[in-house]
Copies of this chain bind each other. A is one copy, B any other.
Amino acid sequence: MVRPRTPLLTRERIVETATAIVDADGLDALSTRRLARDLGVQAPSLYNHFATKEEIVDAVGDAIVAGVDLSMLGRDPWPVALKAWARAYRAAFRAHPNVVPFLARGPARRPASLRLADAVYGALVDAGWPPAMATRIGATMRYFVAGSALGSFALGFVDDPSLYAEQYPHLRDAHRLAGHHEQVDEGAFELGLEALVDGLERRFPG
């Protein structure tokens, strides 16, 4: 086959298949050859649609972030909106946990991330926050949500509690919770989110 009548590949189809691979088998399983095979094509053909593999992964991340609901921003009161947005953002990563490590690779210049940052910033300024504070709050919230998403991966003490118990005496109690680490993650996120927004509300100048 040299050039089919109707193109086999589109950026969309590539991103979809790449997402499926990452979701199923993890970020490391995504190689250009594997991706091409799943698409019924040879690896170099991908380079007709993306310049590098990193661009493909970028597009996967962008597609996921693009799905985050932003409608509450600028509609609901800012503390309510901020919390709802943070939960939506976190949920997007929970839906694709294997993509989360990618968060750590390089700057978030992707369009969807910028749209998201823009929306949060705008909502805060409209609510009465000084621009400099809105910038900081937006960054702080993104820090917290990104860290929480990472934390859901840092399972920590899952596999052999008793092994650690001797060396780290205080953690013995925590280990009893290790089985329900999902609930611990959820609880820690909710506690932190409420406390953080609480602390911000007390600093609101309006």
A interface list, Cβ under 8 A from B: 100-109, 111, 113-115, 117-119, 121-122, 125, 131-140, 142-148, 150-151, 153-158, 164, 167-171, 173-174, 177, 184-185, 187-189, 191-192, 194-200, 202-203
Q: A104-B101, A104-B104, A150-B103 are in contact. Are A171 and B117 (CB under 8 A)?
A: yes
Q: Which residue of B lies closest to A185 (CB)?
A: B139
Contact assessment for B118 and A158 in the assembled complex, using a CB-CB cutoff below 8 Å: no
For A131, A140, A146, A148, the residue with the greatest tally of chain B CB atoms inside 10 Å of its CB is A140
User: Given the complex of chains A and B, what is the CA–CA distance between A170 and B185 in angstroms?
Assistant: 33
16 sample A-B contacts, Cβ–Cβ < 8 Å, listed by A number: A104-B105, A106-B154, A107-B154, A108-B154, A114-B168, A118-B168, A118-B170, A131-B174, A132-B187, A136-B184, A136-B192, A139-B185, A142-B147, A143-B189, A195-B200, A198-B198
Task: Tell me if B114 and A167 are in contact (CB < 8 A).
Answer: yes
> What residues of chain B lie closer than 8 Å to A195, measured between beta carbons?
140, 195-196, 198-200, 202-203
Q: Closest chain B residue to A187 by CB distance?
A: B136
Contacts A139-B151, A143-B192, A151-B146 given; indicate if A121 touches B171 (C-beta within 8 A): yes
